[in-house]
Chains A and B, each alone.
Chain A
Amino acid sequence: MNVLAMVLAGGRVDELLCLTEMRPKAALPVFGTYRIIDFVLSNLMHAGVNNVGVLSQYRPYALVRHIGTGEHWDFVGRSRDIRMLPPYRGSKASDWYKGTADAVYQNISYIEHFHPEHLLVASADHIYRMDYRPFIDFHIDRGADATACFTMTKRKSSRFGYGVIDRTGKLIDYQEKPDKPPSDWVSMTLYLFKTDFMIDVLKTNAKEQSHEFGRDIIAKIGANCRLSAYKFRGYWAYARTVDSYYDTNMDLIRGKVALSDWQVRTNLLERCVRGDRLPAHINGKVANSVVSEGCVIHGIVKNSLLSPGVTVAPGAEVYDSIIFHDTSIEANAKLTKVICDKDVRIGSESTVGGFGADTPSREYKELLRSGITMIGRNTIVPARTEIGANTAIYSGARITQEHIEPGSTIR
């Protein structure tokens, strides 16, 4: 298969508040043991795409370590590899990436090294299992210059790019973040291009002021080229906001994500099983929850997802929460609707979340208002602290007060 993949993994995402303060969204943990980029990498692996470039510039360290040599997705061999493509300085055309299209443009020499016939461009920020092979066949059979992939949405939002697709599969209109969506079909930021066509388009775009695939490429190349649209009908999650990230995780325990069939690969040697974790030891009350290796549970866990190494002490209660790696919840602490990052300690008898859910965040009124409480990485919550809902505690914050009002932000 003559396809090279470029994975867009670089952007900073502010809407996820403290979750993406120290990592790109692609490296964000999800479903207990995965990171978001695992889904696209696994899709590429299953489709037999052998060469992958990963474009990343925002705090890429977690991603670099996670991808490693690529062996976990079998991207290792004589003619198989995965490369991180960071921004670089050189004699010409070099700078920080100014947008998704610019990131690819600055790596034209990488593309030309492989001179593939087709280029697959995929965002690393989405959660879905898709067989890319019919998508690639569709693009090739139609002789398309570019093919964009769309998924149907019921909930219309002005955050997306929308496509208008005719009966034959031609993309006849594309609008980025329109006030009034023209259809139900949302762009998945997943494209196939004929390589030569793509390089021409990128070179033209490079002279413009804005460099995004949706807004500046797909929306503008329509007139004199063959532009197709492929419809994907499986589970697809965008997880752009705190609410949608939370809902996506909960979809797993609601049974909406058939993860056992997805065959998603992740880096097993890194954080997930570091220290060679034992299987989960459960000796408490666990219901409707996902539990990873290394967890030791003596308390109550309900409707929650636990990443590897989480401990829940006797008498502690965890409801409707997402707890990342190696966080410990001490005796008689109670967590309700909390997203808790790695290596956090919730002191005994503390109450996190569960009160003041109707008080939105004062600083992030639009982003944090549904009653979720967010605790940043490495936070120590002293014993007997009360933290209200819609509160965001950033990594590195020191908690000194015993009562934190709902809707607070602590840095």
Chain B
Amino acid sequence: MKKNIIAMLLAGGVGSRLNVLVSKRAKPALPFGAIYRIIDFTLSSIANSNIDVVGILTQYKPLSLMEHIDGGRPWDLFGRTRLVEILPPKTGEEISDWYKGTSDAIFQNIGFVEDHSPEFVLIVSGDHIYSMDYNEIIAIHRARDADATVSLIRVPQETVSHFGIAETDGTGRITDWVEKPKTAKSNLASMGVYVFKREPLIRAITEAAKDSGSDFAKDVIPRMMRKQRVYGFIFDGYWRDVGTIHSYWQTNMEMLDPGSELKIRDWGIKTNLSAKGEIGDRPPAFISRNANVVNSLIARGCIIEGEVRNSILSPGVSVARKARVTDSVIFHDSMIDKECLVQSCIIDKQVSVGAKTQIGSGELIPNKKHPAHLYTGISIIGKLASIAPGITIGKNCVINPDARLTTKDHKSVPSGSTI
């Protein structure tokens, strides 16, 4: 069936600055806010904008993502003409290979786009925390008769080096575009959200592919700017990149701040509640007689017997007696045993922290392996790691997934270590 607009969601992001949190999953599949995954924000925005055909481009460890998306059911993107299709790389066709970049991923799925022959194609990255009514950018795109419209957001001048930065003229037309500049005249950053007319899009990505270009920001937008009508749309809502450990942690913490503009419930963000390990079969949280919970989010299946302050607990986390968890984000089914002290940590799924263990105390020394990413004091514990009772782990530490820390090898792990 012909659709006016379809969405292509880029969910292949590796997000390497998120360290061990993304060593076993793509960035869009990373848990956020206790029960969500990062992709929920983009997918809900698409569904809430009444766009009902979505192609999801994946190639990096897509299994957990596929289970999470569950054919689009949790977002009501499911029906005779409503669908979410996972588009992994494929072989055996004329254009087929691993996706070499964002525009190459779309180029290899031109068939999917043509099948629906939409007038417009919305291309969005699944890496960010925000909510957007895409109808606004589409309306402006249409009013200006643009070939491409890029959604832009003002970022602090000192962070421009993380983004694609655009300059626009008085009519909104993009006049200059630099990818990750050291300094820039403008502070309008690309959000990884684009609206294209279908034909110019297909022409541009096909031409880019001929010159081995594979990326929207590096190859497609600069190419189109020369001959075609490429405009900027300035979004002034809440938007977070969560590309670094610190920004990921801080954005989670914003959920505890009533003054924050992060309003997940008002935005109507949906997630898959019945997937394995989510809230499906779990009873409500239980807070025991001697527990003390202060300004924290506690999901289903949590059992709290100790103290939890300013923290975000995913389903099934247990905090035993006299343990103290502060300023931390803890994923599904991790266990914090008796008399532990956990401060400023991100603990991945199914981690077991033995009794009297201390994490996040000691000197503030940047991580030796990743000094540029890990210096604000946050320690990260990878999925399924197990930490024997009584170990002390400092600040800015990284414990790899599946690591088995025993007191024989590690009585204490000094700040800045990676294990």
Contacts and interface: CB of A to CB of B under 8 A. Distances in A.
Interface of A: 31-33, 72, 252-253, 259-260, 263-265, 268-269, 273, 275-283, 285-293, 305-306
Contacts of A291: 284-287, 298
Interface string B281-319: 111111111111111111111010000000011000000
Given A273-B273, A287-B291, A279 B299 contact: yes
A32 B284 contact: yes
A278 B281 CA distance: 17
B298 A265 contact: no
A287 B273 CA distance: 27
A272 to B, nearest CB: 9
A29 to B, nearest CB: 11
B45 to A, nearest CB: 14
21 contacts: A32-B284, A252-B283, A260-B283, A263-B281, A264-B283, A268-B274, A268-B279, A277-B265, A278-B34, A278-B255, A279-B298, A279-B312, A279-B313, A280-B297, A281-B256, A281-B295, A282-B293, A286-B291, A288-B288, A289-B286, A291-B285
Contact of A259 (B283, B291, B299): B283
Contacts of A263: 281
B291 A279 contact: no
Residue of A253, A279, A293 with highest tally of chain B CB at under 10 A: A279
B265 A293 contact: no
Contacts of A264: 281, 283
A252 B297 CA distance: 22
A260 B284 contact: no
Interface residues of B, number: 39
B35 interface: yes
Contact of A283 (B33, B294, B312): B294
Contacts of A32: 283-284
A260 B295 CA distance: 25
Residue of B256, B273, B300 with highest tally of chain A CB at under 10 A: B300
B286 A253 contact: yes
Contact of B293 (A269, A286, A292): A286
B259 to A, nearest CB: 14
Given A278-B297, A286-B293, A292 B284 contact: yes
A273 B271 CA distance: 11
Contacts, number: 104
Interface of B: 33-35, 255-256, 264-265, 268-271, 273-274, 279-301, 303, 312-313
B301 A260 contact: yes
B284 A293 contact: yes
Give the 3 A-B residue pairs with the shortest CB-CB distance, closest first. A279-B299, A32-B284, A292-B284
Contacts of B280: 265, 268
Contacts of B284: 31-33, 280, 290-293, 305-306
Contact of B296 (A265, A282, A305): A282
A318 to B, nearest CB: 13
A282 B292 CA distance: 10
B34 A279 contact: yes
Nearest to B292: A285
A281 B297 contact: yes
Given A265-B280, A279-B35, A290 B286 contact: yes
A8 B269 CA distance: 38
Nearest to A294: B265
Given A276-B271, A282-B295, A293-B279, 19 more contacts: A31-B283, A252-B283, A260-B283, A260-B303, A268-B279, A276-B270, A278-B35, A278-B265, A279-B285, A279-B297, A280-B285, A280-B298, A281-B295, A282-B293, A287-B290, A287-B291, A288-B289, A290-B286, A291-B285
B268 A276 contact: yes
B281 A282 contact: no
Contacts of B286: 253, 289-291
B111 to A, nearest CB: 31
Given A268-B279, A279-B298, A279-B300, A292 B285 contact: yes
Contacts of B294: 282-283
